[in-house]
Amino acid sequence: MSTTAEATIDVRVWRGGEKGEYQSFAVPRRDSQTVLDVVTWIQRHADPTLAYRFACRVGVCGSCAMTVNGRPRWTCRTHVSKVIEDGRVEIGPLANLPVIRDLAADLTPFFEKWQKAEGTFVPSRTRHEPLETISPESPERQAANAAIECINCGVCYAACDTVRWSPEYFGPAALNRSWSLVNDVRDAGNLKRLAAAASNGGCHNCHSHQSCEQLCPQGLNPTASIAGLKRRTMQAYIRGEIS
Amino acid sequence: MSAVRLYVWQRLTALLMVPLIIVHLIIIIYATNRGLSAADILGRTQGSIAWGLYYTLFVAAAAIHGAIGVRGVAREWLGWRETALDRLMWIFGVILLVLGLRAVFAVVVP
């Protein structure tokens, strides 16, 4: 796509904390321009006090997620051409999280819920035992693979209706992590993990709206992971392992 | 009551109600197509242990299923505490059960 030097984008950027307002900037339009490029341009050329978060710029670290024209996106890999509407782009902090300032959301609740969902690996062997050999082709490994590429960006959490109306709900990312560990044959923490998944903040809150699946930049399907947890917690309940 | 327990009971009662609802609908269509009068219907249901058991099971499943559903709606829309939600669920479930059993009693007991 060719652009002229005068072409600009009408960018509205959230300024302030929980209370604030959108501020307009005219940002030069460039070829292959990402939303993160736009935000960086504003900070470097228009207002150096703009607060936002990024690190790798190449879709690996998961720190640059923001709300772009109403939908959560990883801004470093989202081209302006994909999201622009009538020459306008509105950029805000991630939804469903406290706002620190401007475009920086506080991800503390997001990661606290990973802890509550028992999203940490529990080893079944000590360092003195030999490494367990896992065949990449084994069904267990394939099942774990399906949910493993999460970059903790928070897009699914911000996209989730159930998170919005139920503050105690762990959310798609934490439960997706839980599901990858449930399928990890090396892990020894499943009983506690399934009990967490079956608790009030757990998998049974999910309405399968699939916004997480639609917007996950990694193409993961947390809804399917949560459905898997519903099956496994039901089995554990019927066996009397959890109550 | 734990989320998984509610989930299992609601799914199991749903599973149970699928064949019950299908038979129930067939009976309605049969009764209207044949133009059965209230007296005709009562003539078949009164004193029938089979129909009594069938609809008692149906009422019990519907009461459990519906009460858990209302609890879920209240949890999300009203934000009530767990004890209040459990109380609502039991009260609603018992009301459904009493109303349903009263109807079963009316058509089955001679």
CB spacing of A166 vs B8 below 8 angstroms:
no
**pLDDT for the residue numbered A167:** 87
**pLDDT for the residue numbered A1:** 52
Q: Taking 60 as the threshold, does the pLDDT of residue A5 lie above it? A: no
B84-107 pLDDT, tens digit per residue, is 999 999 999 999 999 999 999 999
Which of A237, A241, A242 to mutate against chain B (most B CBs within 10 Å)? A237
Please tell me which residue of chain A has the smallest CA distance to B2.
Answer: A199
**pLDDT for the residue numbered B110:** 85
Cβ-in-10-Å burial (0-12, 13-18, 19+) of B71 comes to buried
Query: How far is the C-alpha of A11 from the C-alpha of A88, rounded, in Å?
Result: 6
Please tell me which residue of chain A has the smallest CA distance to B4.
Answer: A198
Tokens of B14: 């749903």
CB spacing of B11 vs A233 below 8 angstroms:
no
Tokens of A189: 């923490």
Mark which residues 151-170 of A lie under 8 Å from B by CB.
165-166
**pLDDT for the residue numbered B6:** 95
What does residue B91 show for φ and ψ, rounded to 5 degrees?
-65, -50
Q: B78 to chain A nearest CA, in Å?
A: 10
Q: Taking 70 as the threshold, does the pLDDT of residue A140 lie above it? A: yes
Which residue matches tokens 């009538």?
Answer: A86
Q: Taking 90 as the threshold, does the pLDDT of residue A183 lie above it? A: yes
Per-residue pLDDT averaged across A121-139, rounded?
93
CB spacing of A199 vs B6 below 8 angstroms:
no
Please tell me which residue of chain B has the smallest CA distance to A229.
Answer: B4
Q: Taking 70 as the threshold, does the pLDDT of residue A3 lie above it? A: no
CB spacing of B4 vs A237 below 8 angstroms:
yes
Show me where the domains of chain A are located: 8-105, 108-238
**What is the fold of A108-238?**
Fumarate Reductase Iron-sulfur Protein; Chain B, domain 2 (1.10.1060)
Q: A83 to chain B nearest CA, in Å?
A: 32
Contact residues for B15 (Cβ-Cβ < 8 A; gap 6+): none
A8-105, superfamily in CATH?
Beta-grasp domain (3.10.20.30)
Contact residues for A103 (Cβ-Cβ < 8 A; gap 6+): A13, A14, A39, A50, A51, A52, A53, A66, A91, A92, A93
Contact A212, A189 (CB under 8 A): no
**pLDDT for the residue numbered A2:** 52
Contact A225, A179 (CB under 8 A): yes
CB spacing of B8 vs A234 below 8 angstroms:
yes
Query: How far is the C-alpha of B64 from the C-alpha of B66, rounded, in Å?
Result: 6
Query: How far is the C-alpha of B5 from the C-alpha of A200, rounded, in Å?
Result: 11
The model's pTM is: 0.88
A201-215 pLDDT, tens digit per residue, is 999 999 999 999 999
CB spacing of A238 vs B2 below 8 angstroms:
no
Contact A101, A148 (CB under 8 A): no
B31-88 pLDDT, tens digit per residue, is 999 999 999 999 999 999 999 999 999 999 999 999 999 999 999 899 899 999 999 9
DSSP A68-114: ETTEEEEGGG-BHHHH-BTTEEEEEPPTTS-EEETTEE--HHHHHHH
- Look up the CATH number of domain B3-108: 1.20.1300.10
Per-residue pLDDT averaged across A121-133, rounded?
93
Looking at A6-10, A14-18, A217-221, which range is the least confident one?
A6-10
- Cα distances from B79 to residues A161, A166, B5, B83, in angstroms, run 15, 8, 20, 12
Q: Taking 70 as the threshold, does the pLDDT of residue A116 lie above it? A: yes
